[in-house]
Structure 1
Amino acid sequence: MDVPAEAPAPEADRQPGAPHPRETTTLFGQDAAERAFLEAFNAGRLHHAWLLSGPEGIGKATLAWRIARFLLTRPLQSSNAGGGLFGEDLAPAPPRTLDTDPDHPAVRRAAALSEPRLFLLRRPWDAEKGRFKQDIPVDEVRRLKSFFNFSAVDGGRRVVIVDAADDLNTAAANALLKVLEEPPRDTVLLLVSHAPSRLLPTIRSRCRSLPLRQLADQDLSEALRAAFQDDAPDLPALIALADGSAGRALQLHEAGGPEAYAALIALLSDLPRLDRPAMVKLADSAAARGAEDRFDLLLTLTEFFLHRLARTGAMGAAPSEAVQGEGALLARLCPTPAHARIWAQTGAEIVPRARAGRAVNLDASALLIDMFLGLQSTAAGPAAA
């Protein structure tokens, strides 16, 4: 009798609705970061550890995998400037991109996670509990010892990708620090971090910083068109909501973010008046069993709305509309910097209060109604009038 093949374990570093970074060959909007790495490589100044930092979803992991494939397919001596055996003229031309041959054996093995010179450090899947571990435990870092002790049959560099370094628990961070302090020969570590300020200062100091920027609208549009191919949704709405992050755009698309934001703007469009039945209906949509993600989505979108309100007052003009009618609402509610300060203070109070209430299992619908009434109170207040 045939035994069914065991399903592969979920991957903590895979974005729902998107290909894994190791499966993504094109990186949008991060030319400066690629150039910085290539300049160091071509000058023979390849640091043993690199900290790829920036907001989530802008391509840090994709760049880490591009660098890994590049290093795994380049001979060691190619990182030395002017290293031709028979003179400068015969030295290979320095690479201008991180592109690699997709048919190279190391590239194929990396895609299958079977490359012996590549180690991926990430949050493991807990099969017994059916969920990812909350952090990267120290035992995962200790596995690096056997990885470094193993001699790859074809030589060359070893590459370690840590995605994300923010997930390391205290013991794991200290164990990784020891590796960074005494790096094995011919090894490059690539640390992905969404919040580098939270890392140990000693970890940051032993890495060369490679910051990535939020994507410009054009770059984000190209990245989303590549991800969705022929099934592209309403891109202008996603781009406005994504705040320069392709990962955030994909998350919002999967969660119905543009539609939920349109419902939120429709509810708030007459502030300080609120349509009570519409408010209750929207709040109840996040209170059903299994609707926890809907609650988090509405809080995230309310934060986004309040941020855009404050930006409108501070800048004196509303940003490009995410949904129809949003621009007029922003301009009406927040026409001056003084209004921006009021709305910023409101956001600092009501959204965290809703999150704290949910953390202790208070009713989701009641928490959302309280939040919407807080927005109404601010809109009706004399200082905001």
Structure 2
Amino acid sequence: MSDTLPEPDCVPGALHPRDTKHLIGQDAAEASFLEAYNTGRLHHGWLMIGPRGTGKATLAYRIARFLLSQPMDDGGMFGAPQKPTSLETDPKHPVARRIAAGADPSLFVLRRGGAGSTESDQKKNLEAGKFAKDIRVDDVRKLNGFFNFSSAEGGRRVVIVDAADEMNVQAANALLKRLEEPPENATLLLISHQPSRLLPTIRSRCRELRLSPLGDSDMTNALSQALPDTDLDQRVLTALTSGSVGEAIRMTNHSGPAIYAELVGLFATMPRMDRARALRLADAAAQRGAEDKLDMLVDLIALILARLARAGTLGITPTPEATKGEGNMIARLSPSPHHARRWAQAAQDVDAKLRHGRAVNLDPAALILDTLRHISQAAT
């Protein structure tokens, strides 16, 4: 794949999933797929479910390399080949080399294209890193050419859909037809962060592979692989991201730990909220060109409310702290299940407020300030 073209399925600052050397902490999902392969129960459609950033795309590429490098015959006069014990593929294998270069004719990656209504605009925007908001039906129709061309070559074909949640209705219906009548020797790997958004008929025609958030030790190893040069405290990243390496990378790229520290400091002043501090936080996230930081702030507001609700329900403060002073702030604002219920309700109200405000393009600074004012009232 070109080193200069941005890609919609790659987190900025991270290796693309096809280039990630090791999949950490998902042995159960790997074993489930390998068992299906070895017992002759390889389904044509697989739905990879789990939180964003837990390795679903990395696993999809591991499976693609594995399937396309396995012999198709049953061994003939020499007997059946030995059953594989791992999905690992030698990086020097021709299939692995071609996939790394984005040039294997038996693999098709279905993902968002460039923004725009014409082919010319889409190509120009794709090169500029301006991607469409969803996977469109024209993107799915490209599978027709892929299957028609690759069928002449024989052998297996693999399709990776990253992410299936991003298909619009027309695209989803077009893909459903492929799942209902799959081409011979084809395997479709659908990546889904929010499977509830998929058509029930798509889910029913796929076998699920569920990936879990990483535990502390696996998260440490995964962060060492993904962010070898970061000087951020890995315990903080783990606390803020609930076992998602992809989210940890996004946090690092967009100053997530620093923004969360500011939020904790602001919440510590509630219910008499420090208005000047709230204004600075809202203005910083609402600057032109700071859309990513605004998204991060919105996500972190949801996170801090969830941590408040959880602490009050369980009667314990989070360990370790995600930032200095968080434990004392949470212990004061959510000391009981009664307070926890109040924070849980506040989280629902805030989510609705932010969704509506952003949908109708309210001024971001005013929206954030009004949201923080609403949260402060919940702290009384």
| TM-score normalised by structure 1 residue count | 0.90
How many Å apart are 1:357 and its aligned residue? Answer: 2.3
Distance 1:136 1:306 in 2: 32
Deviations 1:189-248 (A, max 9, x none): 111111122211211111111111111122111111111124452211111111121111
**Is the Cα–Cα contact under 8 Å of residues 227 and 249 in structure 2 kept in the other structure?**
no
SS of alignment partner, residue 124 of structure 1: coil
Name 1:348's counterpart in structure 2: 348
Question: Does residue 250 of structure 2 align to residue 251 of structure 1?
Answer: yes
SS of alignment partner, residue 53 of structure 2: coil
Name 1:167's counterpart in structure 2: 166
Question: Does residue 94 of structure 2 align to residue 95 of structure 1?
Answer: no
Identify the range of structure 1 (38-47 vs 263-272) with the bigger mean alpha-carbon deviation. 263-272
Name 2:46's counterpart in structure 1: 50
Question: Does residue 113 of structure 2 align to residue 116 of structure 1?
Answer: no
Name 2:22's counterpart in structure 1: 26
Letter in 2 for 1:74: Q
SS of alignment partner, residue 160 of structure 1: strand
Name 1:75's counterpart in structure 2: 71
Q: Residue 37 and residue 336 in structure 1: after superposition, are their counterparts in 2 closer, same or farther (change >3 A)?
A: same
Distance 1:201 1:358 in 2: 28
Name 2:119's counterpart in structure 1: none
SS of alignment partner, residue 227 of structure 2: helix
Alignment of 1:145-184 (within 5 A): 145-151=144-150, 155-184=154-183
SS of alignment partner, residue 87 of structure 2: coil
How many Å apart are 1:151 and its aligned residue? Answer: 4.2
How many Å apart are 1:154 and its aligned residue? Answer: 6.0
SS of alignment partner, residue 159 of structure 2: strand
Q: Residue 98 and residue 339 in structure 1: after superposition, are their counterparts in 2 closer, same or farther (change >3 A)?
A: same
Identify the range of structure 1 (140-149 vs 238-247) with the bigger mean alpha-carbon deviation. 140-149
Name 1:326's counterpart in structure 2: 326
Name 2:373's counterpart in structure 1: 373
**Is the Cα–Cα contact under 8 Å of residues 319 and 327 in structure 1 kept in the other structure?**
yes
**Is the Cα–Cα contact under 8 Å of residues 48 and 208 in structure 2 kept in the other structure?**
yes
SS of alignment partner, residue 106 of structure 1: helix
Name 1:302's counterpart in structure 2: 301
Deviations 1:275-320 (A, max 9, x none): 2322222222123222222222222111100000000011110122
Alignment of 1:231-250 (within 5 A): 231-250=230-249
Name 1:3's counterpart in structure 2: none
Name 1:336's counterpart in structure 2: 336
Alignment of 1:175-324 (within 5 A): 175-320=174-319, 321-324=321-324
- Count residues with an aligned counterpart: 368
Letter in 1 for 2:258: E
**Is the Cα–Cα contact under 8 Å of residues 117 and 152 in structure 1 kept in the other structure?**
no
SS of alignment partner, residue 58 of structure 2: helix
**Is the Cα–Cα contact under 8 Å of residues 225 and 232 in structure 1 kept in the other structure?**
no
**Is the Cα–Cα contact under 8 Å of residues 351 and 371 in structure 1 kept in the other structure?**
no
Distance 2:362 2:168 in 1: 29
How many Å apart are 1:49 and its aligned residue? Answer: 1.1
Identify the range of structure 1 (46-55 vs 284-293) with the bigger mean alpha-carbon deviation. 284-293
SS of alignment partner, residue 132 of structure 1: coil
How many Å apart are 1:128 and its aligned residue? Answer: 4.3
Name 2:143's counterpart in structure 1: 144
Name 2:118's counterpart in structure 1: none
**Is the Cα–Cα contact under 8 Å of residues 70 and 99 in structure 1 kept in the other structure?**
yes
How many Å apart are 1:152 and its aligned residue? Answer: 6.2
Deviations 1:249-284 (A, max 9, x none): 110110000011011111221322322322222222
Tell me the C-alpha RMSD between the 2 structures.
Answer: 1.9
